[in-house]
Structure 1
Amino acid sequence: MLSIGQLATYAGTTVRAVRHYHAVGLLPEPPRDHSGYRTYDAATVVQLVRIRTLAEAGVPLARVREVLDAGPAEFARAIDGVDRRLRAEIEERRQHRRRIAALTPGDGLALPAEATAYVERLRGLGFSEAFVDGQRDAWVLIAARMPEQMPVYMRLKDAQLDEPRTLELFRLLDAAIDADPADGDADLRRIADELVSLSEEDDAHPPLDGPDVMPEELARLIDAFMVKSMPRGRRLLELIEARGWSGVSQMERTPDAQG
């Protein structure tokens, strides 16, 4: 008779594995000696070797008993099913490896290449890291929700960086991030006026090749992110609303203003 350690050694596995096979019902509990220890015979060694062989071949433990008890035809079908599953898993792992190989550090981790280039251009124009990080994180949210629209967004945004008016607005927003609230909100009023002016122009002459309308819940999420990262962000939203518009990421006329 063999102890559990001897059984594991003979079968080329571990005591922990043997106990697990007992726990899941693959290996029946053996009789115990007068001291309460499990005792095993040669037949159990053979059974355990078969279990280990199937498990190491990739057969799920939940199907090992089915395969062990199957006749030749059923065995072949079961193994074929396991083989198909393993092939699918191998292909999935290959795809994971391709995705891992394509990962880039920093801004490119969660952004498409065109958005990464846009963020890098902002950095090159001298904007603060706080402003650039806020822009980057907003585009991460948009890319996750509207990936097919990112090329359109980035083409428009990249063109806007060539416009002095946009650059001036961005510099005002950048300066407002860390501005002292005690200094008043003249800067925020100027920003709100400019945002509303630009939105009115877009409303009157929408771009022919513009992106799809941003989903409302996404716009709210980005605005909430702006409020959290910009101490006076909520005040900016209030000033925009006082001018008959709402939001920042997807500005729309308020119902009262439309009426």
Structure 2
Amino acid sequence: MSNGVTIGQAAAFVDVTVKTVRHYHKLGLVAEPERDGSGYRRYGSGELLRLVQVRTLAAAGVPLAEIGPLLDADAARFGAALADVGRQLTERIDELVARRATLDRLADGDRALLPDRACAILDRMPGLGFGPDHVAAQREALVLARALVPEGFDGFLDQLEHGLDDPDYVELAKRGQEAEAWEPDDPRIEELATAMADRYLANPALLGDHASRRAWAKASAQYELINNHREDRAPVAARLTALTEARLRSAGVPMPQR
């Protein structure tokens, strides 16, 4: 072995660090050469070949724990093991692509948390006269609804779309937006709640279909969280919602219980 190379030279030739070579020794992936007469370990062509093989497989994504058995396997087992590693790498690539897509959607605002259909609803609202605070509150409600009541989310989107297509409802909703500047005991809040309940009854599509109402009825705790998530910042809106729901219940419309 006197004509071999030192560990530092071996590491440099194979393009790894000395620490990595020692780690391969510790794992039993590469046999540690004997020391020569001067007390140095000398790496010959056999050790260098093994280092290259281990480094190449590790760089290809093969877990270090699997490299030893892989190198000692026959050709058939080696090919099957490489195919399995290839499948694992494909899964990791797909996962990374999905993560990258999420980052791209994050850069596009709402689209990381909401589907395109929900974003289209939010995009429509400013053009109909809804202010940024109202749109932000609706965005938060959509994100919470999708996460907390996924089975009722599409029905919720249906209701919102029907609402934006109904000019009378849009005017009432904008009036509700203005009401956020009123005092919580302003008598106009009750009048507006009555008008909103009447509009819901006149256009039942605003209340959602049977399947959607059933989904929300089963999720009363989640419904309350979604409805009240801005209660501290918009007490009038919370009172308006409660009064409207009370009037709908009195008219026989089933509503989630608070």
- TM-score under structure 2 length normalisation: 0.69
Aligned pair in 2 of structure 1 residues 5, 226: CA closer, same or farther (>3 Å)?
same
Partner of residue 133 from structure 1, selected from 125, 133, 136: 136
Residues 169 and 199, structure 2, Cα contact 8 Å, conserved in 1: no
Match of 1:41 in 2: 43
Match of 1:142 in 2: 145
Alignment of 1:157-236 (within 5 A): 157-177=160-180, 179=181, 181=183, 184-198=185-199, 211=212, 213-215=214-216, 216=219, 217-232=221-236, 235-236=239-240
Residues 118 and 142, structure 2, Cα contact 8 Å, conserved in 1: yes
Residues 176 and 188, structure 1, Cα contact 8 Å, conserved in 2: yes
Aligned-pair RMSD on alpha carbons?
4.4
Aligned residues: 246
**C-alpha distance in structure 2 between counterparts of 1:254 and 1:84, whole Å:** 50
2:71 maps to 1:81: no
Residues 105 and 111, structure 2, Cα contact 8 Å, conserved in 1: no
Structure possessing the higher relative contact order (Cα contacts under 8 Å, 6 or more residues apart): 2
2:58 maps to 1:58: no
- The residue type paired with residue 224 of structure 1 is N
**C-alpha distance in structure 1 between counterparts of 2:246 and 2:163, whole Å:** 26
- The residue type paired with residue 51 of structure 2 is L
Aligned pair in 2 of structure 1 residues 71, 125: CA closer, same or farther (>3 Å)?
same
- The residue type paired with residue 173 of structure 1 is G
Aligned pair in 2 of structure 1 residues 31, 252: CA closer, same or farther (>3 Å)?
farther
How far did residue 19 of structure 1 move?
A: 4.8
Residues 244 and 253, structure 1, Cα contact 8 Å, conserved in 2: no
**C-alpha distance in structure 2 between counterparts of 1:194 and 1:185, whole Å:** 15
**C-alpha distance in structure 1 between counterparts of 2:40 and 2:195, whole Å:** 81
Bigger shift: residues 112-121 or 222-231: 222-231
Residues 106 and 112, structure 2, Cα contact 8 Å, conserved in 1: yes
**C-alpha distance in structure 2 between counterparts of 1:32 and 1:232, whole Å:** 83
How far did residue 237 of structure 1 move?
A: 6.0
**Where do 5+ consecutive residues of structure 1 fail to align?**
none
How far did residue 132 of structure 1 move?
A: 0.6
